Chain A
Amino acid sequence: MTDDHSIRITVNGTEHELAIEPRRTLADMLRHDLALTGTHVGCEHGICGACTVLVDGLPARSCLMFGVQADGRSVETVEALGTPDALGPLQQAFTDHHGLQCGFCTPGFLMLVTAFLRETPSPSDDEIREVVASNLCRCTGYQGILRAVRAAADAGAGG
């Protein structure tokens, strides 16, 4: 029975009901079934972290999760953090400190750091570097990302 499963999932505060086949990844479900294309797919084996979303508040690599596993759960994606006219504080820090160039890895970093700052609102520089090392960026050399996270933490931008 690789038939479709019916699931209920809350994404960015809105409840959705979907019928999907078990092997459809959470990343593909968010991007193509819910038209939330802000979450990006960079490797499909859980290393680059571009697909990071929050599931029940914890960071999850959505390429390593099946959509059916998110049944009954609450997912947050980058679209929840702000809009082009009203950036969230973490997003503002990223633009202030040139924390992005092509923007492909950026949503994954934003969600990762959002979860991190909620748990650790006053991180040390080493803790920031350790968390930022979770994800890959090929454009920035991480310099702007580290500065942005530092600034966001200092400004109390966690959560």
Chain B
Amino acid sequence: MRDAPSGPAAAAPAKAHAGGTPEVPAAGGWIGRSLRRVEDRYLLTGRGSFVGDHQAPGMLHLVLVRSYVASATINAIDASAALRQPGVAAVITAADLAGVAPLRGVLARPEFVATDMPVLAVGRVRHVGEPIAAVLADSAYTAEDAAELVEVSYGELPAVAGVADALAEGAGAVHEAAPDNVLVDVTPVSSPGLDDIFTSAAHVVEVGISTARITAAPLEGRACVAAFDERTGQVVLQTSTQVPHTVRTAVALSLGMDEHQVRVISPDVGGGFGQKCVVAREEVLAAAVARLLRRTVTWVEDRREGLTSGFQAREQFYQVRGAFDATGHLLGLDADIRCDVGAYSCYPVTCGVEVLMAANELPGPYRLRIYRARSRGIATNKTPIAPYRGVSRPQAVLAMERLMDEAGRVTGLGAVEVRDRNLVDAQEFPYRNVMGASYDAGTYRESLARCAELLGHGSWPGVQARALAEGRLLGLGLACFVEPTAYGTASFGMRKMTIVPGYERATLRMDPSGSVIVMAGTHSHGQGHATSYAQIAADALGIDPGRVRLRQGDTELVPHGWGTFASRSIVAGGGAIARASADLAGQLRAIAAHLIEAAPGDVELADGRAQVRGDPATSVPIDELARIAHHAAHLLPDGLGRGLEATAAFDPEGTFSNATHGAIVEVSPDTGGVRLVRYVVVEDCGVMINPMIVDGQVAGGVAQGIGAALFEELPFDESGQPVCGSFVDYLLPTAADLPEFEIHHLCTPTTRTPTGAKGMGEGGTIGAPAAVLNAVNDALAQVGASVGRIPVRPADVVAAIAAAVSRDPVDSRRKTQ
């Protein structure tokens, strides 16, 4: 039952954005068109190929024995009863993996304490769910039966259950290398004169924000099939990952093998959202066991494992102060950020990934010159964290946007005006921010204005007041943000990672029949690269995108790349493809020019044909050029044809999307339930290769952001036990919990990529928590209440209202009658 009465709330919603932008004929072709996805045909008909679909004869099923205590020594492991079960082939522990090195994520900087993540626990467990032993049997059912019979003797130790515990005097150390449990402590900026600015400021606004631990929860959990190829001596690992080459690196390092002796194949992947952009210890384990036993081994993560042992994210605490002048300009920002990073450091980005991004990116789209931030990553006996779509940006934006709302209140300017005064303006681009990042042109103020207009912000006070008179609490919230996308090697290198991602290389090959394969090191897992990349290549080559096919996810086949995460693929992958396509197009033009006796510069490629511009009599099919290049190369001078292939790399400078999100909510004062009435996005990601796919990415991200704002959390009790182990308690939003999203686009093409496209995949998750929390607080402000934590649970709302009533009984109660 919807606890709030239904009925029109604010102004009638703007016409909902239709499914994908209608096809917009772009000059020359395919970029900008909402082509239906190539991937759909096989996914819709159940012909997808996910790792768990693969069965090999004689395969061994791997089930893990996992710790059920948060902190303990392992005193003994007795697998004898398990080994007696029919169908059980082996039980592997760390003792069997002496030659297998742990995963060790390193930031080469003094503020970082490196720690090991062993493939199987070595004498010690540090979180509930840590893998201790692997049972191998002829079926998953048998393996699970046998796993129950493995007896582990623990020497339990007091658990460090949270940041407060970890930092307390006399707290036990999660890792010996970090006796104070601080794995990373950075102050990347501390502008001189900051304290004076705060002392003399007309207004100092302070907010405290905390965000709960959550998890990406892709519908397909992790899965591996590992085999040893006797003929080549290769370990072949099929795994559901976003980063095939990085998995290869980790497995090769751990197993002491050359990288080419490890082949990683990632077929269809049922969602990742960052959880699969780091290497799982189970991936290395499966590879190690396959090599050890010379058998094909499969591990399919179940949901209970996924929710308790799979990488988690986003448990952070912010204290942020802003100094504002009398006219609402932000003069200085001072932040203290703490991240509960759990028991181990993920590989390769390390547990510093959230910590660094929080501090580096807090200022966001606002003009700022004076900034200080201290950010710490604190170890606890909980499941380790890894990037989850947006990483720290959802939390940082939550903090900044609360700050702005507060500033709007104390200065009397209101939420829109205070932001407008501080957002970087069009004339200031490229804007070098206080951290040294250079923002390319965007539409920060324009998106705010448009979003506010679409929500009817101007008439909001009247709408809100009329609802209040009926005893209904409505709230409107905004969130402005800039989204750094596609960090290049320079940016990753600055973090002092020892494995530095950032570039992509693409190889295009045209076959004798004129079709093209694109080999890319990114890894689409729902983003539709097979479609978008084909559009980019087809535009450059003048052919139909149906003749361009993507090959990805096999380290044996594609150039070295970094996979798909950090909103990078269309920029880095698409950029490399654009360059390689241009190169291939140049080869085709040269061949055509030779055959028709023209200058290559006069030849254009369009509609599958090459011709001298304006002279159709010279037209030659591109398929014919391809045939000649391969099968009749004697007709061409040396240096032309003899195959048709191009490869190019692109290392992005970094490009910045922006958006404003706005939410209208209704808060029930009785039950505390929060209902989303409207949700508006005005975003700018530059050129959209396929607008329908862009809309899909925004929508999916917003849904996850709303989940984080209202529904999702993974609590741990004081002994480090996870409380949520199923979807009964971990609440993903359903279609009934979300309104229709109104998604609008502005377009500021960037000069930093060959296509003009910016990345945008994480924007949805970045803006939504702040927009929703601000809306809830706008509603609650009417009764003198507020909440400072997400997810906002109904009980929290009721408690906040009760607290307000007890502070000011007459006024608050009158308002909610």
A interface with B by C-beta (< 8 Å):
21, 23-24, 31-32, 36-45, 47-48, 50, 77-79, 81-85, 87, 91, 94-98, 100-107, 110, 129-130, 132-147
Residues on B with beta carbons closer than 8 Å to the beta carbon of A133:
734-737
Inter-chain CA distance A44–B220, complex, in Å, is 12
Whether B219 lies near A45 (C-beta < 8 A) is: no
What residues on B are CB-neighbors of A98 within 8 Å? 19-20, 37, 692-693, 695-696
In this assembly, does B574 line the interface, its C-beta being within 8 Å of a C-beta of chain A? no
Given contacts A98-B696, A104-B218, A137-B219, 9 further A-B contacts (CB under 8 A): A38-B47, A40-B219, A41-B52, A43-B726, A95-B41, A96-B19, A100-B40, A138-B271, A139-B271
Cβ of B43 and Cβ of A106 under 8 Å apart?
A: yes
Q: Which residues of B contact A96 (CB under 8 A)?
A: 19, 36
B349: CB under 8 A from chain A? no
Residues in B neighbouring A145, C-beta threshold 8 A:
735
Stretch of B93-101, B576-584, B697-705, B789-797 on the interface side: B697-705
Using Cβ atoms and an 8 Å threshold, which residues of chain B touch A81?
A: 45
From B412-420, B435-443, B525-533, the one touching the partner chain is B525-533
Least Cβ distance of B408 to chain A in Å? 29
Q: Are A144 and B699 in contact (CB under 8 A)?
A: yes
Known contacts A45-B726, A105-B219, A139-B526: A100-B736 contact under CB 8 Å: no
Contact in complex: A141, B52 (CB < 8 Å): no
Complex Cα gap A136–B734 (Å):
6
Could you tell me the distance between the alpha carbons of A36 and B704 in the complex, rounded to whole angstroms? Answer: 31
CB <8 Å contact, A94 and B40: yes
Which of B218, B273, B696, B736 touches A129 (beta carbons < 8 Å)? Answer: B736
Bound-state Cα–Cα, A96 to B735, Å: 19
Q: How far is the CA of A2 from the CA of B411 in the complex (A)?
A: 73
A141–B702 CB distance below 8 A:
yes
- Which residue of chain B has the shortest Cβ distance to A142 in the bound complex? B735
B791 to chain A, nearest CB (A): 16
Would you give the shortest CB distance from B562 to chain A, in whole angstroms? 19
Cα separation A39 to B268 with both chains bound (whole Å): 14
Q: Chain A residues near B216 (CB, 8 Å)? A: 138
Please tell me if B620 contacts chain A, counting CB pairs below 8 Å. Answer: no
Q: Chain B nearest CB: distance from A2 CB in Å?
A: 10
A101 CA / B698 CA spacing, docked (Å): 12
Residue of B with least CB distance to A85: B41
Q: How far is the CA of A3 from the CA of B113 in the complex (A)?
A: 54
Listed by A's residue number, 28 A-B pairs whose Cβ atoms lie within 8 Å are A24-B141, A31-B53, A37-B46, A37-B50, A48-B303, A48-B727, A78-B45, A82-B45, A84-B45, A87-B41, A91-B44, A94-B44, A95-B44, A101-B527, A101-B700, A102-B220, A105-B219, A132-B735, A136-B732, A138-B216, A138-B219, A139-B219, A139-B700, A141-B700, A141-B702, A141-B704, A141-B738, A146-B740
Are the C-beta atoms of A102 and B525 separated by less than 8 Å?
yes
Set A21, A38, A137: member contacting B45, Cβ < 8 A: A38
A17 to chain B, nearest CB (A): 20
Chain B minimum-CB-distance residue to A149: B735
With most chain A CB atoms within 10 A of its CB, the pick from B692, B727, B741 is: B727
Q: Which B residues lie within 8 Å of A134 (CB)?
A: 734
| C-alpha spacing A81/B47, complex, angstroms | 12
Q: Which of chain B's residues have a CB closer than 8 A to the CB of A132? A: 734-735
Within 8 A of A (CB), among B196-243: 216-220
Instruction: Tell me the smallest distance from the CB of B708 to a CB of chain A, in Å.
Output: 12
In the complex, which residues of chain A have a beta carbon less than 8 angstroms from the beta carbon of B726? 43, 45, 47
CB neighbors of A among B497-526 (8 A): 525-526
Closest to B220 in A: A104
Contact A138 B45 (CB under 8 A): no
Q: Say whether B135 faces chain A, with CB atoms less than 8 Å apart.
A: no
Contact status B50-A129, CB under 8 Å: no
* B645 on interface, CB distance cutoff 8 Å: no
- What is the bound-complex CA distance between A132 and B527, given in angstroms? 22
Shortest CB-to-CB span from B295 to chain A, Å, is 18
**Smallest beta-carbon distance A42→chain B, Å:** 5
* Residues of chain A with a CB closer than 8 A to B737's CB: 133
Given A36-B46, A38-B45, A141-B700: A146 in contact with B735 (beta carbons within 8 A)? yes
> Which chain B residues lie closer than 8 Å to A146 at the CB level?
735, 740
Indicate if B302 sits at the interface (CB-CB under 8 A): yes
Q: Mark B670-705, 1 if CB is under 8 A from A, else 0.
A: 000000000000000000000011011001111110
Which residues from 720 to 744 on chain B have a C-beta closer than 8 Å to any C-beta of chain A?
Answer: 726-728, 732, 734-738, 740-741
Within 8 A of A (CB), among B36-76: 36-37, 39-48, 50, 52-53, 55
Q: Mark B513-555, 1 if CB is under 8 A from A, else 0.
A: 0000000000001111000000000000000000000000000
Q: Does B626 reach chain A (CB closer than 8 Å)? A: no
CB distance from A77 to the nearest CB of B (A): 7
**Nearest A residue (CB) for B690:** A98
Q: What is the CB-to-nearest-CB distance from B242 to chain A, in angstroms, rounded to a whole number? A: 11
- B700 cross-chain contacts in A, Cβ below 8 A: 101, 138-141
Q: Does B754 contact A (CB under 8 A)?
A: no
Bound-state CA distance A142–B692 (Å) is 14
**Which one of A95, A100, A101 has the greatest number of beta carbons of chain B within 10 Å?**
A101
Whether B47 and A102, one on each chain, are in contact in the complex, defined by CB atoms closer than 8 angstroms, is no
Give the complex CA separation of A84 and B42 in angstroms: 5
Smallest Cβ-Cβ distance to A87: which chain B residue:
B44
Residues of B within 8 A of A97 (CB): 19-20
Q: Which of B219, B696, B734 has the most chain A CB atoms closer than 10 A to its own CB?
A: B219
Determine if B741 and A141 form an interchain contact, defined as CB atoms under 8 angstroms apart.
yes
Is residue B270 contacting chain A, with contact meaning CB distance below 8 A?
Answer: yes
- B17 — nearest CB in chain A belongs to which residue? A143
**A135: B residues at CB distance < 8 A:** 734
Per a CB cutoff under 8 Å, which of B40, B41, B50 touches A40? B50
Least CB distance from A31 to B in Å reads 7
Q: Which residue of A lies closest to B727 (CB)?
A: A47
Interface: B659 (CB within 8 A): no
Assess the A40–B42 pair: CB atoms within 8 A.
Answer: no
Whether B480 sits at the interface, judged by CB under 8 Å, is: no
Q: Is B269 an interface residue (CB 8 A)?
A: yes
Q: Do residues B19 and A136 form an inter-chain contact, with CB atoms below 8 A? A: no
Say yes or no: A45 contacts B525, CB within 8 Å: no
Residue in contact with A103 in the complex, picked from B39, B701, B704, CB distance below 8 Å: B39
CB pair B734 A103 closer than 8 Å: no
Shortest B83–chain A CB gap in Å is: 21
> Which one of A84, A102, A129 has the greatest number of beta carbons of chain B within 10 Å?
A102
Within the complex, what minimum Cβ distance (angstroms) separates A142 from chain B? 4
**Are B268 and A103 interface neighbours, CB within 8 A?**
yes
Q: Which of B219, B273, B701 contacts A136 (CB 8 A)?
A: B219
Complex CA distance for A129 and B704, rounded to whole angstroms: 18
Q: Which 4 A-B pairs have the closest CB atoms?
A: A38-B46, A104-B270, A103-B43, A141-B703
Q: Does A100 contact B43, Cβ atoms closer than 8 Å?
A: yes
- B696 near A144 with CB under 8 A, answer yes
State the CA gap A133–B738 with chains docked (Å). 10
B302: chain A residues within 8 A (beta carbon): 44
| A100: B residues at CB distance < 8 A | 40, 43-44
Q: Is the CB of B220 within 8 A of A40?
A: yes
What separation, in Å, do the CA atoms of A146 and B268 have in the docked complex? 24
Q: Say yes or no: A40 contacts B270, CB within 8 Å.
A: yes
A11 CB, min distance to chain B CBs, angstroms: 12
Residues of B within 8 A of A36 (CB): 46
Q: Is there contact, CB below 8 Å, between B44 and A110? A: yes
Residues of B within 8 A of A41 (CB): 52
Closest to B307 in A: A43
Find out whether the CB atom of B219 lies under 8 angstroms from the CB atom of A37.
Answer: no
Question: From residue 279 to 329 of chain B, which have CB atoms closer than 8 A to chain A?
Answer: 302-303
Q: Is the CB of B47 within 8 A of A84?
A: yes
Q: Are A143 and B19 within 8 A (Cβ)?
A: yes
Q: Separation in Å of the A1 CB from the closest CB of chain B?
A: 16
Q: Is the Cβ of B727 less than 8 Å from the Cβ of A43?
A: yes
B41 to A, closest residue via Cβ: A84
CB distance from A158 to the nearest CB of B (A): 17
A78 and B219: CB pair below 8 A? no
Residues of B within 8 A of A31 (CB): 53
Cβ contacts under 8 Å, A39 to chain B: 46
Beta-carbon nearest neighbor of A63 in chain B: B303
